Chain A
């Protein structure tokens, strides 16, 4: 699936998004919230990259900065060949239809005073010159596509259930035939069985329209379902990025290991034997990240070097990126796969 023919659609390099912290009457800047701190990754055309991590780690900020809904502090983002960060406002306007966003709270992101037809049609008004009849036909087609009954086109958002409202949000995101959609916790506010319906819809749409997703979620089991590759964020940085099956079967970064071990299993017998890595302490403030590795204050495997030197985010096995001193050595032995996996297994066992 991730062979050489895959074409990068979204390329993010060294992305930083700092929010200034100001104080006093003159609002003097006294520091920065390093919400996204030097993040690099690629999303290939047609794939879903899952972005996971605990609340506050910078997932939403990352998604928004990529779409240039924020002005990033540093870094480059190319989408479909265009440098989004350097783009003029004209170029950006032309780019907008290609890149869309679906939000967590369908209630808050839909204007309560607009009908469903008006909500879905709004991007068409802004970016196309369709006749009234053409527009209505397109709105109906979009409603069909996301499984909304056309008869409800003139109803208001509050008349719909949470799952249906999320379908409205998705229909609106699809209106301009986007290539890339950032889905920011699109199912977090929904009931489990409805979550499955929305995830299935997103997957069907991806197949039929060739969409590329950045799927932001804190739900590791749903991400395992929908994502082709998964990036794990901690305190503004990506600590691990790998193909889905690999990361779930054999997480490399101690944080990924702890995170996955915390997910309960819907099976009472499995739960009895599940071994958990309990993290102690709290996530440090993104305004004041620790020296060395961002995870060193909570890492069960932290070594002396981790408190001194920031690890490099690098590819230690084909397609497997990790930012951890445990693997620094491994990264050097690029030509010896046997030795590599042995080392990997050993460290995993130590973790449990």
Chain B
């Protein structure tokens, strides 16, 4: 840790495989990263690149079978979450690590009112009385921009529109002031003005509560505005990672470079034709023995088909898993490749 602070969450060599009828799907391949206290880590990548499965794996949310978390270590609060009892994990979820999912219906219970679902964790984990919890629940709904909050507490999840349900989810995740908040595409389904309100809210809460946040999104604009650090995933691996301005201004992985070129802007120069990344992310039937991006990569050369690059340091706190060196405009020297240590 360059700033000396101990990470709140440490993930080391995480591997998750799905056993399906068609064979194995290697969704997460040796993923390692740290989350520092109070930092906002943005995670990007096309769908299917392993963002959700990585986060679900580390908090034990994937049903097994079909998921098989094959290896790794997830250190949080003195525990290895991969070797915890279900009870220990339940105690971590909520006040320890809060989750906001892409699809709110997966974590809202259809048979309880929204008010009940907001009050429960407040009473259970925060030791509030019912009256206190009721008041806080209303505040939380107001906080996330739900009109007529007092009355809406009595409604069931299905009585909310998609966007409103997402806000309820955010309110629930924030209820216990978690140390770590993992948000999986929480604003993807929302309108920009609402998204802007939620992003503003998250920035505020982060300052106030000092929680660390992992924010998964495919919207690079969102990341640019809120993240301290960015992690780019592809083929179940971290292909590039670094401080947000570093990665945006000096991207060192061809995938990151391509991703950054595909986003149109409402303000900058308008391109005559949108840039695309042809093809699609792979579905990996085995742990990748070569670079998973090589088929779509303009930079690929012979070595990329025979070895899977490690993460090479490319700048302060910045690394990229690529054999091509954009600074020299040539492949990395062979000995650097052979001798590279895992970052």
- The reply to whether the CB of B244 lies closer than 8 angstroms to some CB of chain A is yes
- The reply to whether the CB of B218 lies closer than 8 angstroms to some CB of chain A is yes
A-facing mask of B225-251, CB < 8 A → 1, else 0?
Answer: 100000000000000000011001100
Nearest residue (CB) in A for B264 is A221
A-facing mask of B271-283, CB < 8 A → 1, else 0?
Answer: 1011111101000
- The reply to whether the CB of B107 lies closer than 8 angstroms to some CB of chain A is no
Q: For window 205-231 of chain B, which residues contact chain A by CB distance below 8 Å?
A: 218-225
- The segment out of A115-123, A263-271, A344-352 that lies at the interface is A263-271
Residues in B whose Cβ lies below 8 Å from that of A343: none
Q: In the complex, how many residues of chain B place their beta carbon closer than 8 angstroms to a beta carbon of chain A?
A: 45
Given A259-B193, A265-B225, A274-B225, CB of A200 within 8 Å of CB of B273 = yes
- The reply to whether the CB of A199 lies closer than 8 angstroms to some CB of chain B is yes
- The reply to whether the CB of A128 lies closer than 8 angstroms to some CB of chain B is no
Do the beta carbons of A264 and B219 come within 8 Å of each other?
yes
Q: Looking at the complex, which one of A191, A224, A225, A279 makes contact with B47 (CB distance below 8 Å)? A: A191
- The reply to whether the CB of B192 lies closer than 8 angstroms to some CB of chain A is yes
Do the beta carbons of A197 and B265 come within 8 Å of each other?
no
Q: Looking at the complex, which one of A192, A196, A218 makes contact with B192 (CB distance below 8 Å)? A: A218
Do the beta carbons of B193 and A262 come within 8 Å of each other?
yes
Q: For window 48-94 of chain A, which residues contact chain B by CB distance below 8 Å?
A: 54-55
Q: Looking at the complex, which one of A222, A258, A262, A276 makes contact with B264 (CB distance below 8 Å)? A: A222
Bound: A78/B267 CA distance, A: 35
- The reply to whether the CB of B147 lies closer than 8 angstroms to some CB of chain A is yes
Q: For window 176-200 of chain B, which residues contact chain A by CB distance below 8 Å?
A: 191-197, 199-200
Q: Looking at the complex, which one of B192, B262, B280 makes contact with A263 (CB distance below 8 Å)? A: B192
- The reply to whether the CB of A208 lies closer than 8 angstroms to some CB of chain B is no
- The reply to whether the CB of A193 lies closer than 8 angstroms to some CB of chain B is yes
Given A196-B275, A196-B276, A268-B245, CB of A262 within 8 Å of CB of B265 = no
Give chain A's interface residue range (CB within 8 Å of chain B).
35 or more
- The reply to whether the CB of A159 lies closer than 8 angstroms to some CB of chain B is no
Do the beta carbons of B192 and A259 come within 8 Å of each other?
yes
Residues in A whose Cβ lies below 8 Å from that of B271: 225
- The reply to whether the CB of B325 lies closer than 8 angstroms to some CB of chain A is no
Residues in A whose Cβ lies below 8 Å from that of B151: none
Q: How many A-B residue pairs have CB under 8 A?
A: 114
- The reply to whether the CB of A302 lies closer than 8 angstroms to some CB of chain B is no
Q: For window 166-213 of chain A, which residues contact chain B by CB distance below 8 Å?
A: 191-194, 196-197, 199-200, 203
Residues in B whose Cβ lies below 8 Å from that of A274: 225
- The reply to whether the CB of A114 lies closer than 8 angstroms to some CB of chain B is no
Residues in B whose Cβ lies below 8 Å from that of A263: 192, 221, 266
Residues in A whose Cβ lies below 8 Å from that of B191: 54-55, 218
- The reply to whether the CB of B163 lies closer than 8 angstroms to some CB of chain A is yes
Do the beta carbons of A221 and B193 come within 8 Å of each other?
no
Q: Looking at the complex, which one of A193, A259, A264, A265 makes contact with B262 (CB distance below 8 Å)? A: A193
Do the beta carbons of A225 and B196 come within 8 Å of each other?
no
- The reply to whether the CB of B123 lies closer than 8 angstroms to some CB of chain A is no
Given A191-B47, A193-B259, A193-B277, CB of A267 within 8 Å of CB of B196 = no
Bound: A193/B264 CA distance, A: 11
Q: Looking at the complex, which one of B192, B224, B275 makes contact with A271 (CB distance below 8 Å)? A: B224
20 A–B contacts, CB within 8 A, in A order: A161-B280, A192-B259, A193-B46, A193-B276, A196-B264, A196-B276, A200-B276, A221-B264, A245-B270, A259-B193, A262-B193, A264-B222, A265-B224, A266-B221, A267-B248, A267-B268, A268-B244, A269-B245, A270-B267, A282-B147
16 new A-B contacts at CB < 8 Å, known A193-B258, A263-B266, A266-B220: A54-B193, A192-B218, A192-B259, A193-B46, A197-B278, A218-B192, A222-B264, A224-B264, A263-B192, A264-B199, A264-B222, A264-B224, A266-B248, A271-B224, A278-B197, A279-B193
